[in-house]
Amino acid sequence: MTDAIDQGCRFEAQFTQMAVANQLAATAKAQASNTNSSAECAECGKEIPEKRRENVPGCKYCTRCQQLAEEGKL
């Protein structure tokens, strides 16, 4: 017969496995969509920094133009 600590350990192991699997799936999805990021801003034509392309998968605008688009000024 298992006690509460054994059951807790089993639940923790299951939870950890699910959390790792979810994180791996999210990372794979982000990396796959990262290929859709533009190297140059669709509005001003300036280069979009690699760090932004990594952090914002699928981005089409530089930060300045993105801000202007969100404010409705483009």
Rounded Cα distance, 69 and 46, in Å: 16
Contact 41, 60 (CB under 8 A): yes
Residues 18-50 have pLDDT tens digits of 999 999 998 887 666 555 788 999 999 999 999
The answer to whether 43 and 69 have CB atoms below 8 angstroms apart is yes
Query: pTM of the full predicted structure?
Result: 0.50
Distance between CA atoms of residues 73 and 65, nearest Å: 9
Nearest alpha carbon to residue 23 among 12, 34, 15: 15
Q: Decide: helix, strand or coil at residue 40.
A: strand
